[in-house]
Structures are given as C-alpha cells and as structure tokens.
Structure 1
Amino acid sequence: MPADVPVTSARGVRLPYRSLPGAVQAWVEEQLGGPVVRVEDRVGGFSPGCAAVVGTAERSVFVKAVGSVPNPTSLALYRQERSRLAALPLHPALPRALAGTDLELPDQAWAVLLLPALPGEPPAHPWTEPVARLVLDRLGALQETLVAAAGSPALAALPGSDELVRFFRPWSEVLDDPSDAWHDDPWVRSRASALEEAGAQLAGALVGEVPVHADLRADNVLVGPPRVAGGEPSVWFVDWAAALRAAAWIDPVVLACDLVVSRADHRQGGTMDVAGFLASHPVTAAVPAPLRWAMMSGLAVTLHLLGRSPDPPGLPTIRAWQRRCAEDLLGFVRATDLGSGHHVW
C-alpha cells in the first residue's frame, strides 16, 4: 500500500489495465470504437481485478475486469454487479452500465463491465463533517427513489435480506471460544447479554423490500464537481455488487461505520464528534439509537471473526483491514454504550 494511503482505506492489489489479456482489451476497444490511448489505473476495494479509466481520442470509460484466477469469487461478484445494477431504478446518483460481457479464454473466464468515467474521487480518510454531511444528504435523496421502487417487478432480480442476515455473525462465537482474543475482554464479558440481544434485534431489523447497497464506504462513493455552475458537488454511489432487498435504514448506518473506521472521531485523532453528528443528521437520526449501536456492534464482531480467517486467494490485505476495522468499531461501541449511560447517541 502506498505510504500516502491511510491504513484505514480499503486497498487491495489490482491488475493494471495493460496486463489484461489481449482479448479483454480488444473487446474494450471494440466497445469504444477505437484504440485505447490513455489509461489511468485506479485503486480502492479489495478485488484482484482491474479498475481503470481508459480512453480513445474521442471518449473515456471506466473499465472493471476480473478473471477466475486467482479468486473465482471475484468473478462471480463482477457478474453479480452487472445484474444487480440493472435491476435498480434510474437516478442521477446511480451510474448505469454502458456494456458488459463474459469471455471464456483458454486459461480462465473473464467478466468485463464498462461504466461512465465520472469526474469524481472517493472521500478521503478520515472523513470530515462537511463531506459526511454532503454524502448523507445525497444518500437521503437517493433513498427516496429506492423506497418508492420497493415492490417493483424489476427488483425481483435482487436477493432478499436473508443474504445479509447470514453475513452477520453472532457474539456467541466469541463468547464460547476461549482462544478468541476478545473472549476474555472485561467489557465484552460484562456486556455479553446486551451484545447478544443487539445481534438478535439486528437480524430482525434487516428485513425489508427496499433496494440497498449494503456495502457503503468511502471507496464506493465518488464526489465530483457540480453539474451546474454554482451548484453543490456531485455525488455518485458505485459498486452495487452486494445490492439486495432489505430495510432502508441499513445504508446510512453502514456508511456511519465507515466514519468510525476512517478514524474521523476526535477520540481517534480526527476532527468529528461522530456520535453527535449521527444523532443530529436527519438521515442517521431517523434510525433509532439502539439500532445504530446494534449495527456497529454486529459489524465489529463479524469483521473480527472474518479477520481470523486465512487470506482469500489474491486478496492479501483484506484480513488485516477487517481486524483493524473491528478494533475501531469495538472501541466506538464501548464509548457509546447505551447500556452504560456514558453516551446516548
């Protein structure tokens, strides 16, 4: 990871565009209508695939491409992104796919997706309050469209909330495992019942029929120049590979978790009072405080347990990132413990 990229950022080891198989590059040039003369490889996320802005003399696109080697799950996710993005309603903050294909090459299969080359960058870690306010404002506006779409036939292509419920791991896996580093943590032991109860509350509250992103963090958001002179910056929400039908409150609170893991809070060396901000911003304040706490504690234990697993093929940085995020979330959950009365947010 480059020295100027914060350790809190999601960064894997991506394949440069010029290292893609010739057949993949040829398909991209066919879609563009001419040879690629400009390439800007991008970082962000954990996929071992390519993410790059490429252009001919006339136009540019954003290319996502991944093969079945070294990680076939990444191939499935790229294919999944195409189908799930197509099921979403139209909205200016949702970039639509321009083209996509599957290529069966002699050594492996490839999935390729072309998207608009947007003039934006992800919010920097740690988040600052003006950027967090802007992004949550725009997320709230997007949610109006997503909530209105609930129940539409197109959304049948998205899986239901069971997929998300299965993702979250119970605190019992920590509490029942003496080899776990969190097992003997005095605060975890003292709040065991509350943590398990919050997990049960979370599982029930995830259910819904609204299309949600389910993986919102800084590297899945782009902030760019205003669409009109004198207007506010543009915001786009990208990478909908995990999209599903669930409860609308999920996306704002998952994004709130990224504020924490970016170490934006003043207790982490940042500039924000994250708890106060979440309690005051209309989009996050609309989610009951115990439910926000349940999501953060649930994500903390899930990332902690995932972080104990071996590195997936081609993703050498994800486990360390998950462990780091889990520790930051647990620290925030402690500090905002509703049960202790320290900070009701």
Structure 2
Amino acid sequence: MAVRAWVDRALGSPVVSATTQQGGFSPGVAARLVTASGRRAFVKTVGTALNPKTPTLFRQEIEAVQSIGPLSSTPRLLDVYDDGDWVGLLFEDISGWLPSHPWIQSEADRVLDALAELTESLDPSPWPDAPVVAIRSREFLSRWDQVLTDGLAVPDWLDGRVQELAALAQDTLRVMADGKALAHYDLRADNLILTEDRVVFIDWAHPGLGPRWTDTVILQADMRSSAVRLPPLPDDPAITGFIAAIAGGQWWGAAQEPPPGLPTIRTWQREQALVHLDWVRERLG
C-alpha cells in the first residue's frame, strides 16, 4: 500500500508494530508506530471512501500545524502524504495520557493555563489566511432558524425564546468575523495529551480565525459537566451569543441522520446541546 510505503520511507525503517488509538469521530487509521530501528511515531490517515469530507479536514490540519510551527503545546509534524485521495500526517509520538473525563480540578486548571499561553502565541494568527470561523461555520452557528422552520421540540424554558437565541447568535457572528486569533475550534478532553511537563493540543482539523476567547468557551463547555470550578468568563453578549449559537447547531444536528462513518455523533451532539443550553440559561438569568 502506498501509504504504508510512505510511512516506512519517512521513518527510515519498516514499521514492526502499530497500536490503534481509540477516540474521536473521524474514520481512518490512527496508530502509534514502532519501527525496526526502534523509532516511534504517530500516524493518522484517511481516504475519501471512508468519509468524503475527512481528507479535507486533514489538509486543514496540515496547514494549521505547519503555520503554527514549533511550540511545546502543539505536536511536531514529521511528514505528510497526499495523493489526492488518501491524506496522511506523521507526528512525533507523545508519551502521555488524556485528561480525565469527567475532568478533575488539577487537570482542568493546568489545561486552561496552557490554553491561555497558547492563545497568546496565536493572537494575531501565524496563519493570517486561515478560514474565518464566522464565515466557515455560519450555517452551523445559525441553526436556530432551522430549528424553528423544522418545528423541532425544544426544552420547556426555551418555548417562545428561540428567536431571542437566534438573534444573539447572529450578533455574535458579526463580532467573531473581526477576530484575528487562530482558534483550534474543537477543544475537548480527547483532543489533548498531558505529559509530565507538557500540555499538547492535538487534532487541528477545524482551525479558524476568531476572537481570542473562542477556544476558552469551547473548552469550558467540555468541562462544565464535571465537578470542577471554572474561572468566570466576561459578561459579554458576544460570548453568550456564541454559546447559544453552538447550542442551536448541536440541537438541530442531533435531530439529523448520522453522516457516513460517524454513527455516534448525533448522541454526542444532543448531549453537547444540553450543556450549552444550560450555560446560556445561566448567563441570561
């Protein structure tokens, strides 16, 4: 197979061991490798037959990681493969562990501190031509209108208030369009690796330009279902609107048929929608 030959060439020795890694939603291969020479690496590859959209996401990740360059909080990219169908990324193998989920306080504090440092490095973005989140995700972040059109049921407290959330989301899109920071835009526990001295942010498949608080909101949402104390976010209508917009996108998405190769995503989307809705309700009072 061409991808296997590329890996052997890039590592300078044949692969003798491959341990598949679980987690995430993307189809394809994700494995920790050991070569005959003892060298270690991590590879992720996917082809259009597995999911027609995922190779494009991998290409975005390549551009993001190459643009960010060498930071202790991002994985070192060793080589890439792209034959127009299959796309592969070969990374350093990071010996570490995923954060606990539900989160524990010490790890939540450590990761939020590391994210603040990373955001400082990425504002302004080292990839100024990155996609603009507010444009690329406009459809997803505007789903409350579709919820109304489709007549989807909503939690009782939202009866008569869906238009309010839709308006908040649209106002936020205008604010987000001016953001100049590079956001990971998919931060959760399974996209992080902790080591004794590093917090590494992995899986940069959805990068984009936005306000510097974008990733903090996304990460805190992943932490909110855990028994951890989180630093309060500013009482900014744009932040509240962003939370509301994500809630709408996830609520509408959860009602759809699952896409090819991603059978568990709809359950996850409903869970995420409820977390975000609870947060919106808290911020609106």
- 1:237: which partner in 2? 201
Q: 1:218 aligns with which of 189, 193, 196?
A: 189
1:200-247: per-residue Cα shift (whole Å, max 9, x none)? 232122121221111111111111112xxxxxxx10111112112221
Q: What residue number does 2:39 align with?
A: 59
How is 1:97-112 mapped onto 2 (pairs within 5 angstroms)? 97-103=77-83, 109-112=85-88
**Corresponding residue to 2:228 among 272, 280, 305:** 272
Shift of 1:71: 0.9
Q: Mapping of 1:252-291 within 5 angstroms?
A: 252-260=216-224, 263-264=225-226, 271-273=227-229, 277-279=230-232, 285=233, 287-291=234-238
State the 1:97 CA deviation: 1.3
Work out which of the residue numbers 166, 169, 175 in structure 1 matches 2:148.
175
1:195 aligns with 2:165: yes
Q: TM-score, normalised by structure 1?
A: 0.76
Normalised TM-score (structure 2): 0.91
Letter in 1 for 2:220: A
Deviations 1:144-182 (A, max 9, x none): 1111x44x6xx244122311334312423223433x121
Which residue of structure 2 aligns with residue 251 of structure 1?
215
Matched, 1:295 2:242: yes
Distance between the aligned counterparts of 1:165 and 1:129, measured in 2? 34
Q: Distance in 1 between matches of 2:101 and 2:256?
A: 26
Please list the CA deviations of residues 250-272 of structure 1 after superposition, one character each: whole Å capped at 9, or x if unmatched: 01111111113xx21xxxxxx22
Distance 1:325 1:211 in 2: 23
Q: Are the counterparts in 2 of residues 89 and 146 from structure 1 also a CA contact under 8 Å?
A: no
Whole-Å separation in 2 of the counterparts to 1:278 and 1:197 = 27
Match of 2:117 among 138, 141, 164: 141
Please tell me whether the aligned partners of residues 32 and 42 of structure 2 are also in contact (alpha carbons under 8 angstroms). Answer: yes
Aligned mate of 2:59, from 72, 79, 88: 79
In structure 2, C-alpha distance between the alignment counterparts of 1:202 and 1:74, rounded to whole Å: 28
Q: CA deviation at 1:89?
A: 4.5
Q: For 1:295-316, what per-residue CA distance to the aligned partner results, in whole angstroms no more than 9, with x for missing partners?
A: 2222111111111221111111
Indicate conservation of the 8 Å contact 2:144/2:163, yes or no. Answer: no
Instruction: Tell me the percent identity.
Output: 34
Alpha-carbon distance change, 159 to 289 in structure 1, aligned in 2, over 3 angstroms: closer
Compute the displacement of 1:190 (Å).
4.1
8 Å Cα contact 2:221/2:275 also seen in 1: no
Worse overlay, 132-141 or 208-217: 208-217
Partners of 2:64 and 2:139 in 1: how far apart?
Answer: 19
SS at match of 2:185: coil
Q: 2 CA distance for matches of 1:139 and 1:186?
A: 35
2:100 paired with 1:127: no
Native 8 Å contact 1:93 1:142 kept in 2? yes
Count of paired positions = 282
> Residues 73 and 193 of structure 1: is their aligned pair in 2 closer, same or farther, counting only changes over 3 Å?
closer
Pairing partner for 1:116 from 92, 111, 118 = 92
For residue 325 of structure 1, the aligned residue among 226, 249, 272 is 272
User: What letter is aligned with 1:77?
Assistant: L
Q: Whole-Å Cα distance in 1 between the matches of residues 13 and 69 of structure 2?
A: 31
Counterparts of 1:175 and 1:86, CA distance in 2: 41
Aligned to 2:22: 43
Q: Secondary structure at the match of 1:98?
A: strand
Kept in 2: contact 1:223–1:235 (CA 8 A)? yes
Q: Quote the Cα distance in structure 2 between the aligned partners of 1:90 and 1:288.
A: 34
Residue 314 (structure 1) aligned to one of 245, 261, 264: 261
Q: 2:12 aligns to what?
A: 33
- 82-91 vs 65-74, which deviates more? 82-91
Output the CA distance in 1 between the equivalents of 2:153 and 2:180. Answer: 37
| Runs of 5+ unmatched residues, structure 2 | none
- Given that residues 160 and 246 in structure 1 are in contact (C-alpha distance below 8 angstroms), is that contact kept between their aligned partners in structure 2? yes
CA shift for structure 1 position 23: 2.4
